[in-house]
Amino acid sequence: MNEPGFIPHHGGYQSLASYQKAEIIYDLTFRFCQRFLNRGDRTIDQMVQAARSGKQNIAEGSKASGTSKEMEIKLTNVARASLEELLIDYRDFLRVRDHIIWTKDSKEARYVRRLADQPNPTYETYRELCETRPAEVVANIALCLIYQTNYLLDQQIRRLEKDFIQEGGLRERMTRVRLQQRKKA
């Protein structure tokens, strides 16, 4: 069928760097909570759900994008907000235990950023570090990954806004296609 459509290609969230990093954050957070938080601690559910929400909302927004740019923007922003909540939980964990929070330019943070530069990183990229280091190190690794993912999501949201301004939403695309078809007739 060569007829133009009005629903653009959508989905493909697995190839988004923001989704890939959010998935690593979820896996890391799940394991962090199992290893370092006491069973029954309400923070476990909150942290795991915030990490899950970050990942899931990127996927859901991507799938909804074909028919609702507004929904894609909203869900991507929900993902961003969920990861911000998780960031605060990790910072609180470190602060109340008098642990050091790595600076952006610390050698440790730079090392974690270099790991993230590998093509298609997964939790396996970080597994050895996260499963053999103390809580302070793992929480700081999580912070580094969340900062990176939040940066990517901020860029993604700005791009979605720009695309919406230039291309419009579903109704505008529908109208354009319909008018094009009328001109051909």
For the chain, the structural domain boundaries read: 16-184
pLDDT at position 2 is 43
The model carries a pTM of 0.86
pLDDT per residue of the chain (185 residues) written in tens, 0 to 9: 344 565 555 557 899 999 999 999 999 999 999 999 999 999 999 999 999 999 999 999 998 876 678 889 999 999 999 999 999 999 999 999 999 999 999 999 999 999 988 888 999 999 999 999 999 999 999 999 999 999 999 999 999 889 877 776 666 666 666 677 778 87
Contact, 92 vs 41, CB < 8 A?
no
> Other CB atoms closer than 10 Å to residue 152's CB: what's the count?
19
CA dihedral sign, ordered 168, 173, 176, 179? negative
Nearest to 95 by CA among 143, 133, 63, 130: 143
* Burial group, residue 34, by CB count within 10 angstroms (0-12, 13-18, 19+): exposed
Residue 79 one-letter amino acid: A
Contacts of 148 (CB under 8 A, 6+ apart): 21, 113, 116
pLDDT at position 55 is 97
Task: Give the N- to C-terminal CA distance of the chain in Å, as an integer.
Answer: 17
Nearest to 77 by CA among 60, 99, 92: 60
pLDDT at position 21 is 96
